[in-house]
Structure 1
Amino acid sequence: MTTFKCLSWFLTCVSLICFCRSQDSIASILQTMNRFQEEMRDNKDDMIRMEKRILNFIEVAKTSLRAELKENIRNEVRNSNDVCIRDKQRLEIELEKAKVTTANLKTNIKLCTALKETCQSQMSQLITNLSVPACSPSSVNATSTSRPSVSSTPTSTPPTTSVILVTSVWSSTPRQFRQINIHSNSLGVYPHLIIKRVTYATYARKTRKLLMGLEYPDKVVTSTLDTNHVTILREGVRTYGIAVDEDRDVIFIATLKPLYSISRISTLGKNFTVIIDLSRYEWYPRHLTLDTNGKRMYWCNYEKLFTVTYDGQGLTTLATGDQLYAVALDMAAGVLYYNDAKKLFKMTLSSNVTTQLTTLNAVPWNMRLNRGTIYYSGYDSRIVGALNLTYSVTAHTIHSINIKGAHSLLMCLIP
C-alpha cells in the first residue's frame, strides 16, 4: 500500500513537470509569433514608404519630362513662327510690288482703251460729217454737235463685245431687253430672253451666262446669251443683287425673300446657304459687288453701305445716307464707288477716306465699272448714263429708253 502511494506522488510530480515545461514552450512560441507579427508590420510599413518614394520619383520624372517637352515644343513653334513671319513679310513685299506693277499695267491699258475709243468716236463722227450732202448745211451742223440719235425702229442685232443689256425693273412686258453697243452708242432690241418681271441681272464672263432674279414667282435663273431658255437655280428667292465668284464656283445673292440676308449658292444651283441674316435692319439688301481677292462683299440697303467677309464675319457699316442703291468696286485701285441719291462718292478702302466725285443726272439703280468708265441705270428715271473717270467728272446720258410699264431701269454690262 505504501508503494502505491509513492507511485501516485511520483506520477503527479512528473505530470506537473511536463505541464510546466509545456507552458514555458507555449509562451515562448507566442512571444516568437508576436515578434514575427511586429516584424511583418515593420516590413509592410517599409514597403509602403518605399512605394510612396517610388511614386514620388515617377511623378517628379513625369513633371520634368513634361516641362522639357513643352519647352521643346515651344521653341519649335517659336522658330516656325519666326520662319513664317519672315516668309510672310517677304511674300507681302513681293505682292506689293506685283500690285504696283499690275496697277500700272491696268492704268496704261485703260488709257490706251480710252484713247482708242476716242479715236474711233472721232473717226465715226468724221465719216458721218463727210457722208452728209453738201446741199444741206443745216443737217451737217446738227450732226456735228449732237450724240448719235436712237432710231425710232430699234435694230435687232445679237450682242457683241462691250454691250449693255437694259431692262425695266418689275415690268410685265415679255420682250423688254434692250442692248446698247458701247463703242457705236447704238440702241437695239435684244432678240432673246422673252421673260418679264426681272428684278436683277448680272453676267458671268467665263461661262458667258446671264444670272437673273425674277418675281411672281420668285426665283433665280440662268441663261446663255443667245437663247430664250432659262434654267432655274433656286425657287422661292427674291433678289435685287447677284454677284458671282467664278474662280470659286459660288454665287452670292442679296435676298428680300424668304428673309433679308446675304446667301450663297453654287453655280449649279446647289448648297443654298444663308451667310448672314439681315432681318434686324429695316431695309433689304441690294446691288451686291465682290472683292474676289480679299473675299469680301459690299452692298447697300437704301440707308447704309455694308461690307462683310465671304463667311459672314466682320459686318461693318461703311457709310450712311438717304438713297443708297448702287456700288461698284475697282479692285486694282482699292476704290469703292457708291451713290447717295444723285451724288456719286469715292471711298479709298485702305483708309476709308470718302470724297464726293460729282452729281449724276439721275439716281442710279445699279452701276457697273468697265475700263475706267462708270455706267449706271436710273431709278425713277428711264436713262442709262456714263461717267469717264479718266478724263472727266461730268456724267452724261447715253440713252433714254422707253419700255412699256417701266419707271426704273436695271442694266447688265457684257464687257
Structure 2
Amino acid sequence: MAELKCLSWFLTCTSLICFCNCQDSVVSVISRLNQFEEELLDTKVDTLRMEKRIHNIIDDAKTSLRAELKEIMRDQVREAMAEILQGESLQDMVKSQVVSELRHLKQGYHQMKRQLHHVSRSLKDFQDETSVFHQSVLKGAHVGNLENSSDVCVRDKRRLEIELQKCDVTAADLMADIKRCMAFKETCESQISQLKTAPVVPYPTPAVNVTSSSTTPGPPVSTTSVTASAPEEEKSRILIAPLWSGTKHQFRQLNIHSNSLSVYQNLNMKRVASVAYIAKTKKLLIGSYGPDRILASALDTSHVTVLREGVQTYGIVVDEDRGIVFIATHQPQNSISRMSTQGKDFISIIDLSKYGSYPRQLTLDTRRKRIYWCNGGKLFTVTYDGQGLATLATGSNMFAVTLDQTAGVLYYNNEKKLMKMTVSNNVSTEVTTLNARPWSMILYRGTIYYGSYSPTLVGAVDVTYNTVAYTLQSISMEGVNHLLICLIP
C-alpha cells in the first residue's frame, strides 16, 4: 500500500515537471514567432523600398533614352532634310547663280586691274626710254653744233621729231586703253553693287568679332571687324583650329579678303588632331584624341555627333562628289582608311606600318582618283583602292600638301621651303621660302595659305603672280604651337 502511494506521488511530480517544461517551450516558440513576424515585416518594408527605387531608376532611364532618341531623330531628320533640300531650294538656286556671277565679275575686274597696272608700268618705262633717247639726241645735236656740223644736227632733229610723233601716237593709244579699262572697272563695280543688293537671303556667320592685325609686311590688311558676310565673302573664310592642346580653345575664322579675325563661340574644344569641312552638308569633321574619335558638328552649334570611335587621325579630306572621307589613321593602326560622310563603311585601304612615321595631311586628285600625303620625311601617292603606292619625293619635316588639280601641280613643304611638282613627270622645283614650317596648307584662287608651327601664324604665297611669302595673321593661343586650317566655302 505504501508503494502505491509513493508511485502515485512520483507520477504526480513527473506530470507537474512535464507541464512546466512544455509551458516554457510554448513561450519560447511564441517569442520566436513574434520575432520572425517582425523580421518579415522589415523585409517587406525593404522590398517595397527597393521596388520603389527600381521604378525610379526605370523612369530615369526611360527619360534619358527618350531624350537621346529625340536628339538622334532630330539629327537624322536634319541630315535627311539637308539632303532632300540640297540643290532644290529656290533661294539656294538664286544664291548660287548670284555667287557665280559675282565670282566671274570679280575675276574680270581683278584681271583688268592687273592689265591696267601692267599698261601703266609699260607706259612709264616707255616714257623713261623716250626721255633718255631725247636727251641723248639733244646732247648729240649740241656736240654737233659745237663742231659746226649743221647737217648732222638737222638730220638728228628730223629723226627726233619722227620718234616724238610715234611716241605721241603710242601714248594716245595707251591713254585710250586706260580709259577703256577705267570704264570697264566702273561697269564691273556697278554690276557688283547691283548684285550685292539683290534679294538673296544672307548666310549668317556664327563668328564673334575680335580685333587683330598682321604683324609682318604683306598685302594691304583691313582690321575692320566682320559682323555678317556677303555670299562672296563667305567663299573666302579660313577656319583655324589649335592642334593637340590640352586646354579648350575657341576656333578662329580668318576672312581672306579683309584679313579680319573672329572666333566661333560654340566650337570650343581641346585635343584636336585634324579638321575638314563638307560643303554639301555644311558640317565640320573633327578628329580628336583622348578619347580617339571622329566627330561631326555644324559651325553655329556646340552639339557634336560621334561618327567613329577608336580612330585617331592627323589628316582628313573629303571627296564630296562621291561622298567619301579619307583618313590618315594613327590608331588603331598606321594606315590610310576611308568611310562615308555619315561614318559608315569604315575600312583600311592600305597598311603603312612598314613605311615609318604616321601620315599627316592628305589631298585628293578626284579626277584621277589618287591620294597624296606626307609622313614627315617622304611624299607618297596611292589610288582610291590602295593600289600603286609610290614615293614621289623625300625631305625633312614634310607635313603639308595640297593640289592644283586644274594645272596638275602638287605643292608640298620641305622644311620651310615651298616645293611644287608636276604630277605628269614628278619633277620638283622650289617656289619660295616660307616664314615658318607649315603643318597644313590649302590652295585657293592661285594662292597657297598655310598654318604653321613655332611660330604659330597663317601665311600666304601667291603662286600665280608674286611668289613672295607673307604673314596674314599671327595667332596666339596658350599652350598651342601648331595650327590646323581648312577652307570654309
The alignment partner of 1:176 has SS state of strand
Q: Please say if residues 249 and 477 of structure 2, whose CA atoms lie closer than 8 Å, have aligned partners that are also in contact.
A: no
Q: Kindly indicate whether residue 365 of structure 2 is the aligned counterpart of residue 296 of structure 1.
A: no
Distance in 2, matches of 1:110 and 1:330, equals 21
1:164 to 205, 227, 238: 238
Distance in 2, matches of 1:113 and 1:270, equals 45
Distance in 2, matches of 1:313 and 1:110, equals 42
The alignment partner of 1:284 has SS state of coil
Q: Kindly indicate whether residue 306 of structure 2 is the aligned counterpart of residue 232 of structure 1.
A: yes
Q: Please say if residues 110 and 371 of structure 1, whose CA atoms lie closer than 8 Å, have aligned partners that are also in contact.
A: no
1:174 to 217, 227, 248: 248
Equivalences for residues 8-407 of structure 1 within 5 A? 112=108, 114-115=110-111, 147-148=220-221, 160-407=234-481
1:281 deviates by: 2.0
Q: Please say if residues 342 and 360 of structure 1, whose CA atoms lie closer than 8 Å, have aligned partners that are also in contact.
A: yes
Q: What is the identity, as a one-letter code, of the residue corresponding to 2:253?
A: Q
Q: Please say if residues 155 and 189 of structure 1, whose CA atoms lie closer than 8 Å, have aligned partners that are also in contact.
A: no
The alignment partner of 2:410 has SS state of strand
Aligned pairs, how many?
A: 285
Distance in 1, matches of 2:356 and 2:218, equals 47
Distance in 1, matches of 2:375 and 2:219, equals 37
Cα-to-partner distance string for 1:241-284 (whole Å, 9 max, x where unaligned): 10111121111000111111000111111111010000012200
**Higher-helix-fraction structure:** 2
Distance in 1, matches of 2:429 and 2:289, equals 36
Distance 1:301 1:146, change over 3 A: closer
Distance in 1, matches of 2:222 and 2:333, equals 44
Cα-to-partner distance string for 1:10-55 (whole Å, 9 max, x where unaligned): xxxxxxxxxxxxxxxxxxxxxxxxxxxxxxxxxxxxxxxxxxxxxx
1:149 deviates by: 6.7
Greater radius of gyration (CA): 1
Cα-to-partner distance string for 1:49-105 (whole Å, 9 max, x where unaligned): xxxxxxxxxxxxxxxxxxxxxxxxxxxxxxxxxxxxxxxxxxxxxxxxxxxxxxxxx
**1:32 corresponds to:** none
Distance 1:156 1:231, change over 3 A: farther
**2:85 corresponds to:** none
Distance in 2, matches of 1:292 and 1:146, equals 32
Distance 1:351 1:149, change over 3 A: same
Distance in 2, matches of 1:314 and 1:343, equals 27
1:113 deviates by: 7.3
1:333 deviates by: 0.7
Q: What is the identity, as a one-letter code, of the residue corresponding to 1:193?
A: L
1:230 deviates by: 1.2
Distance in 1, matches of 2:278 and 2:393, equals 28
- Higher alpha-carbon deviation: 292-301 or 222-231: 222-231
The alignment partner of 1:407 has SS state of coil
Instruction: Please list every run of 5 or more consecutive structure 2 residues that lacks an aligned counterpart in the other structure.
Output: 1-103, 115-184, 190-216
Cα-to-partner distance string for 1:334-361 (whole Å, 9 max, x where unaligned): 1100000100111001111111110001
Q: Please say if residues 156 and 191 of structure 1, whose CA atoms lie closer than 8 Å, have aligned partners that are also in contact.
A: no
Distance 1:337 1:256, change over 3 A: same
Cα-to-partner distance string for 1:91-136 (whole Å, 9 max, x where unaligned): xxxxxxxxxxxxxxxxx999547559989xxx9xxxxxxxxxxxxx
Distance in 2, matches of 1:113 and 1:338, equals 30
Distance in 2, matches of 1:274 and 1:109, equals 44
Distance in 1, matches of 2:227 and 2:438, equals 26
Distance 1:145 1:171, change over 3 A: closer
Distance in 1, matches of 2:324 and 2:420, equals 28
Instruction: Please list every run of 5 or more consecutive structure 1 residues that lacks an aligned counterpart in the other structure.
Output: 1-107, 124-143
The alignment partner of 2:285 has SS state of strand
TM-score by length of 1: 0.64
Distance in 2, matches of 1:193 and 1:112, equals 37
**1:67 corresponds to:** none
The alignment partner of 2:240 has SS state of strand
Distance in 2, matches of 1:182 and 1:146, equals 11
1:223 deviates by: 1.2
Distance 1:229 1:212, change over 3 A: same
Distance in 2, matches of 1:117 and 1:239, equals 43
Distance in 2, matches of 1:368 and 1:291, equals 14
Q: Please say if residues 456 and 475 of structure 2, whose CA atoms lie closer than 8 Å, have aligned partners that are also in contact.
A: yes
Q: Identity of aligned pairs, percent? A: 56
1:363 deviates by: 0.4
The alignment partner of 1:406 has SS state of coil
Q: What is the identity, as a one-letter code, of the residue corresponding to 2:334?
A: Y
Cα-to-partner distance string for 1:206-226 (whole Å, 9 max, x where unaligned): 222111111111111111222
The alignment partner of 1:194 has SS state of strand
